[in-house]
Chain A
């Protein structure tokens, strides 16, 4: 930017003041509020923000309209008459095939899948990460490498062998089976997350506990756990949104009466029979997206940390 250079000349004298300032590419701080640069920056960001917000807006607006109004008007117009009927219908009476008890069943199925899956996967991965960080044994790093490489293998490659294994054990199609599957596929990233966290803790802490005679579980439960609350929260955010949003495992490993919410939502909206009720569909879509959205808005910065942690896999 040209004006940067000009400003630089003016403010060169006080760059020392800027040393401690927030890092970033922008020029010295004092500058007019309305400048060509600001208009471009905020203008572009604003347009982008509108693009990102439109789908949410359209979802909400559509779900509050009646069908006649949808047929007449355009999808961006706010509702003339607000009705909550689509929401009630989506929750309680929308049909998938022969079942007409709405999304509520899928919601409770998803709860019954997500809660145990999150607990089991985090329990396994945290203990495992701790073992890998502090109690290495011969071959532990090798198994860990295989686990991490496995995170990149498309699920489709491993799905059928899992189907066979679960069928042999006799839990194929049950929620238990799906919970196991979620724990398996959550393992690489969670183990990496916990391992890296425990490695970053000061080693003296562990050594001191060892000298005092504490064992594997004692150190974990009494020293490591209380210190690692933030990383548990990050793992929970990662898992709750991931498992809630899952579709593939739900459709492969459950039966129609135990389908999670995403699968049921897709069946409701994309069913070929009947008149399309767009307002009900959109209400159902929002309902399904609500849980991860609430997690997202409540957790804020931790969510970003979670996905950043999830992103560094490999």
Chain B
């Protein structure tokens, strides 16, 4: 199916012309925006661009300044805490819900609908709802106190040490449904005979899960991991809606740093350097995975 047969075939380029025309948007997007844009940003991260991008190379000065900025360091710390915890919790909760859903239960569709609906909502909506629920004056803290436990204190959004956990609660509410769905699909792919065999051998169910089923679901886990991880690096709207980075700078995240420096502080160089660091972070996650999945996968491809 390589070419549309044409009498004479004037140029090789014009063979299969319609298909090439149809692919122009993709080629432009891939080469100009994705590849070109990325290279452009990385190159300009080595310049001292302020209000406008200028090719005034200053070496790694922007990166030195970036890593010296307390706000960036806080952002990275937050991303690390948020990232690791949300990976662990969403995998554990998602898997446990999926395992429960896989017990031939009744009302499975109802439960699935309930667990997944937050995923349809935007991060802005999620952030604002949880901002309200965690409101210290009216929310959970006030309700528990009004029940008689007057010294109860749960005020993540206005306490800088734990604010990122407040964001985490909202993120888990929004995202675990998706993990549950992916895991459930994985569990449904496990051969029924595995369960029969383990029952015949008298292996308790939790051991079957831990030592047989989970290792068998490795590809599902890895895919889920990559999806969650690349979502974590991009986290932006949720923080903007829920805390606006506050109190102070204690819930800043890298994506917000990039936006603020590019479009508010008019310090493009810093924004480019920070976004390049985000790219590096993603590459650290993606490259080993891609290598494992597709490395030497020419045969499979």
Residues of A within 8 A of B (CB): 1-2, 4-5, 8, 15, 22-27, 29, 37, 41-42, 44-45, 48-49, 51-56, 58-59, 62, 70-71, 74-76, 124, 127-128, 130-132, 134-138, 140, 143-144, 146-147, 149-150, 152-162, 164-165, 183-184, 187, 191, 206, 215-217, 241, 244-248, 251-252, 262, 265-266, 269-270, 278, 281-282, 285, 288-289, 292-293, 295-297, 300, 303-304, 307-308, 311-314
B159 at the interface (CB under 8 A from A): no
- Pairwise interchain contact B41-A297, C-beta atoms closer than 8 A: no
What are 24 A-B pairs with beta-carbon distances under 8 A?
A1-B205, A23-B188, A24-B187, A27-B199, A52-B114, A52-B117, A75-B139, A131-B19, A135-B19, A147-B29, A147-B30, A153-B34, A154-B255, A156-B259, A157-B279, A244-B122, A247-B122, A247-B240, A248-B237, A248-B259, A262-B122, A278-B138, A300-B109, A303-B116
Question: Would you list the 9 A-B pairs with minimal beta carbon distance, nearest first?
Answer: A150-B34, A245-B122, A135-B19, A216-B18, A161-B37, A296-B120, A158-B37, A146-B30, A247-B237
- Pairwise interchain contact B205-A49, C-beta atoms closer than 8 A: no
Note all chain B residues with C-beta closer than 8 A to A295: 120
Given known contacts A23-B188, A156-B255, A285-B128, is B223 in contact with A311 (CB within 8 Å)?
A: yes
Interface range on chain B: under 10, 10 to 19, 20 to 34, or 35 or more?
35 or more
Chain A interface mostly: helix
Which residue of chain B has its CB nearest to the CB of A244? B122
- Pairwise interchain contact A187-B178, C-beta atoms closer than 8 A: no
* A24, A58, A297, most chain B CB atoms within 10 A: A24
Shortest distance between the CB of A91 and any CB in chain B (Å): 16
- Pairwise interchain contact A52-B133, C-beta atoms closer than 8 A: no
Given known contacts A1-B204, A307-B119, is B34 in contact with A158 (CB within 8 Å)?
A: yes
Within 176-226 of B, Cβ neighbours of A (below 8 Å) are at 177-178, 181-182, 185, 187-188, 190-192, 195-196, 199-200, 202, 204-205, 208-209, 213, 223-224, 226
Shortest distance between the CB of B141 and any CB in chain A (Å): 11
* A25, A52, A124, A247, most chain B CB atoms within 10 A: A25
Shortest distance between the CB of A223 and any CB in chain B (Å): 15
* B99, B122, B131, B240, most chain A CB atoms within 10 A: B122
- Pairwise interchain contact A266-B258, C-beta atoms closer than 8 A: no
Complexed CA–CA distance, A184 and B24 (Å): 12
User: Which of A54, A128, A248, A288 is close to B125, meaning CB atoms less than 8 Å apart?
Assistant: A288
B241 at the interface (CB under 8 A from A): yes
- Pairwise interchain contact B244-A137, C-beta atoms closer than 8 A: no
- Pairwise interchain contact B19-A137, C-beta atoms closer than 8 A: yes
Given known contacts A75-B138, A304-B116, is B53 in contact with A160 (CB within 8 Å)?
A: yes
- Pairwise interchain contact A5-B199, C-beta atoms closer than 8 A: yes
Residues of B within 8 A of A (CB): 1-4, 15-16, 18-20, 22-23, 25-27, 29-38, 40-42, 53, 96-97, 99-105, 109, 111-126, 128-133, 135, 138-140, 142-143, 146, 173, 177-178, 181-182, 185, 187-188, 190-192, 195-196, 199-200, 202, 204-205, 208-209, 213, 223-224, 226-227, 230, 233-234, 236-237, 240-241, 244, 255, 258-259, 262-263, 268, 271-272, 274-276, 278-279, 282, 286, 290
